[in-house]
Amino acid sequence: MAKEVIRQYLPLLEEEGRGAAAGDDTGRDRHYLPELPDEDPYQAGHRTCAGCGPAIEYRWVLKAAGQDTVVAGPTGCMYVANSTYLCTPYTVPWAHTPIASGGSFTAGVAAGYEALIRKGRHPGPYPNIIVMAGDGSAADIGLGSISGALYRNHDALFICYDNECYANTGIQVSPTTPYAGMTTFTPFGKAIPEGKSLPPKNLAKMMAEGHPHCYVATTTVGYPVDLMNKTRKGLNHRGAAFMHCFTPCQKGWVYQTSMTVEIGRRVVEAGLFPVWEYDPADRTYHYFHPPVQRPVTDYLAMQGRFGHMLPEHIASIQVQANRNWQDIGMDVPAELREGEDPAKHLRLRDETYSMPLNRGVGA
């Protein structure tokens, strides 16, 4: 007789302190909450660059998932840097997949565990099954295989760690590279002074709209507790879940190594990466409203990949950000409206912007 497949439930972490230090009497930044799990299934000793956003995301996802987890990694930085011969930083089972087959491989793992448990050949419970694919894989080369697995509703969490480029092969353009983002395939010059001329693919919305029965969420390394809770919600969801995580690439984006988490918050505060959840039960989007709204220059000017931008390019990104604010139900302050006018800007390298020294109080 077939055995029952028992699912795990991962409790959610306390989210107080999300977005700012509000509510903390001591005025400390409370993003790192004391009740976080001690375990780290993604250990030190990997070989990613210092300040690597995807490595931070891997660590937090696996901290949230815990030891009863199986991970797949399509080709990309997080495969190559993390797995030299006979050595990986994982304390959980991990497998590499070709870049195009993260979805189909993971679907097979999920179906395999279901069958083994039903036949009594795996003691259970059903493990947390996660694939973490780069944007080149999830939004481009492997999009079809992930979409197929989502549509068939395999019980697994499909994550795109988005560093907005094909990093591992030398920082080439990907569909999620933002407008004006410089990569080795989108250099700026006389013919195309902005560098990349197309807007980024809206991967997460595509996944939510195209697979309405799936749990879908966006998050960034700027919000660790949010990232971990969405990991747990995705894993608790019975069926397929997709999480799109913004993960800065220190090497490809050219910024100070210590600013990865800060950039993960600023992209949200600049209106350029809305953070939301899509609930398949009522088919609605739930948007996070950040307590701070910044001009896009506060985000762009921190990164060398945007250093060539001219006033009209900055204004055009501010137009996009203002559309995003409206889409998530927030007002657009007058200062940000004015930023839609190229005459209000200098070249990006000459603009003044706020550089954070301490995130302790307020924003």
Ligand X SMILES: Cc1ncc(C[n+]2csc(CCOP(=O)(O)OP(=O)(O)O)c2C)c(N)n1
Q: Which residues bind ligand X (CB under 6 A)?
A: 54, 75-78, 99-100, 134-137, 141, 163, 165-169, 174
Q: Choose, by CB under 5 A, the member of 128, 163, 219, 303 that binds Mg ion.
A: 163
Segment interacting with ligand SF4 (CB under 6 A) among 36-44, 45-53, 89-97, 151-159: 45-53
Nearest-approach distance from CB 189 to ligand SF4, in angstroms: 24
Mark residues 131-150: x for contact with Mg ion by CB under 5 A, - for none.
Answer: ---xxx--------------
Q: Give the interface segment with ligand SF4, choosing from 48-56, 59-67, 215-223, 317-325 (CB under 6 A).
A: 48-56
> Is position 167 an interface residue for ligand SF4 (rule: CB under 6 A)?
yes
Provide the token pair at 281.
């039960």
251 interacts with ligand SF4 by CB under 6 A: yes
DSSP characters over 251-305: HHHT--GGGHHHHHHHHHHTTSS--EEEETTTTEEEE---S----THHHHTT-GG
What's the min distance (Å) between Cβ of 208 and ligand X? 21
Closest CA to 268 of 330, 338, 360: 330
What's the min distance (Å) between Cβ of 123 and ligand X?
35
Q: Which stretch binds ligand SF4 (CB under 6 A): 46-54, 265-273, 301-309, 353-361?
A: 46-54
Q: Residue 22 CB, nearest distance to Mg ion (Å)?
A: 33
Cα 329 to the chain's mean position, in Å?
22
Nearer to ligand SF4, 242 or 253 (CB): 253
What is the Cα gyration radius of the chain? 20
Least distance to ligand SF4, CB of residue 71, Å: 17
- Cα 220 → chain centroid: 5
41 prior amide bond cis, ω within 30: no
Q: 10 Å Cβ neighbour count for 97? A: 23
Please check whether residue 165 is in contact with residue 173, taking contact to mean a CB–CB distance below 8 angstroms: yes
Q: How far apart are the first and last CA of the chain?
A: 58
Cβ closer to ligand SF4: 215 or 273? 273
Q: Per CB under 5 A, does 102 bind Mg ion?
A: no
Minimum distance between the CB of residue 81 and ligand X, rounded to whole angstroms? 8
Q: Which residue has the tokens 């927030």?
A: 330
Closer CB to ligand SF4, 221 or 268, in the complex: 221
Contacts 24+ apart (CB under 8 A), 119-127: 119/2, 119/3, 120/3, 124/3, 124/5, 124/6, 125/5, 125/6, 125/7, 125/8, 125/68, 126/5, 126/6, 126/7, 126/8, 126/155, 127/8, 127/68, 127/69, 127/70
Count residues contacting ligand SF4 (CB under 6 A)?
12
**In angstroms, what is the minimal distance from the CB of 142 to ligand SF4?**
17
Residues that bind Mg ion (CB under 5 A): 134-136, 163, 167
Residues that bind ligand SF4 (CB under 6 A): 48-49, 52, 54, 77, 81, 163, 167, 249-252
